[in-house]
């Protein structure tokens, strides 16, 4: 457990949930916001998903039991929120998402487009991502852009009653298939001098 996670856990254990939430966002807020922005379907407003994620994190933090890392739990909250909002922007407990205050330290936007790729390749990558299901988008982002360990990714994507290690092995195979599809789509764009 990192020093920041240990500090957040101590705050949580002391019942200082607001301070724990602030520490969680300091440690992982920009990273998880990047995940939301990279995986949200085009028809859903990423600002609303991020606001709902923050609200759900603050609400759920007192019940967090530390069975996973704080980082993995935050990704789980974001993933659940992405699923919950689905095709429509909803309200959280009757409060319009546009009125949920974003943490001030996270106002800077997270770039999720690798700058070394041409705009054409980035556009093709975006089209491919949009065509993937939610789990494949999550898998790509967490493994490629965040370099999360397979076990953490498996903990995030595991279904109830499923073995985490078996899930990690299946995810590695699925990842290889997604990477192959990426190669097939991007190779013509790259070889065309883009």
Domain ranges of the chain: 1-111, 113-194
In Å, how far are 44, 117, 135 from 188, measured between CA atoms? 30, 14, 26
Going by pLDDT thresholds of 50, 70 and 90, the confidence category of residue 194 is very low
Query: pTM above 0.75?
Result: no
Q: What is the pLDDT of residue 22?
A: 93
Q: 51-96: per-residue pLDDT in tens?
A: 999 999 999 999 999 989 999 999 999 999 988 886 444 343 344 4
Using CA atoms, how far apart are residues 4 and 24, in angstroms rounded to an integer? 8
Is there a contact between 87 and 44 (Cβ–Cβ < 8 Å)? yes
Mean pLDDT on 99-107: 40
Going by pLDDT thresholds of 50, 70 and 90, the confidence category of residue 192 is low
CATH class of domain segment(s) 1-111: mainly alpha
How many C-beta atoms lie closer than 10 Å to residue 175's C-beta? Answer: 18
24 Cβ partners below 8 Å, 6+ apart? 8, 57, 61, 70, 74
Specify the range with the lowest mean pLDDT, choosing from 97-101, 136-140, 152-156: 97-101
Kindly tell me if the per-residue pLDDT of 32 is higher than 80: yes
Mean pLDDT on 136-164: 85
């Amino acid at each position: 457990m990192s020093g920041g996670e240990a500090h957040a856990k101590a705050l949580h254990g002391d019942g200082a949930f607001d301070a724990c939430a602030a520490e969680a966002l300091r440690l992982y807020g920009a990273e998880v916001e990047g995940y939301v922005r990279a995986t949200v379907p085009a028809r859903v407003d990423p600002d609303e998903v991020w606001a709902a994620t923050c609200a759900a994190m603050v609400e759920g933090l007192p019940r967090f039991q530390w069975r996973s890392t704080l980082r993995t739990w935050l990704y789980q909250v974001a993933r659940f929120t992405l699923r919950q909002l689905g095709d429509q922007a909803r309200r959280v407990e009757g409060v319009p998402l546009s009125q949920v205050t974003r943490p001030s330290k996270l106002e800077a936007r997270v770039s999720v487009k690798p700058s070394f790729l041409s705009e054409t390749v980035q556009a093709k990558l975006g089209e491919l991502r949009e065509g993937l299901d939610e789990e494949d988008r999550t898998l790509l982002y967490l493994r490629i852009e965040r370099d999360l360990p397979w076990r953490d990714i498996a903990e995030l994507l595991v279904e109830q009653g499923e073995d985490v290690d078996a899930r990690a092995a299946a995810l590695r195979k699925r990842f290889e298939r997604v990477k192959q599809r990426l190669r097939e789509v991007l190779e013509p764009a790259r070889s065309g001098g883009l």
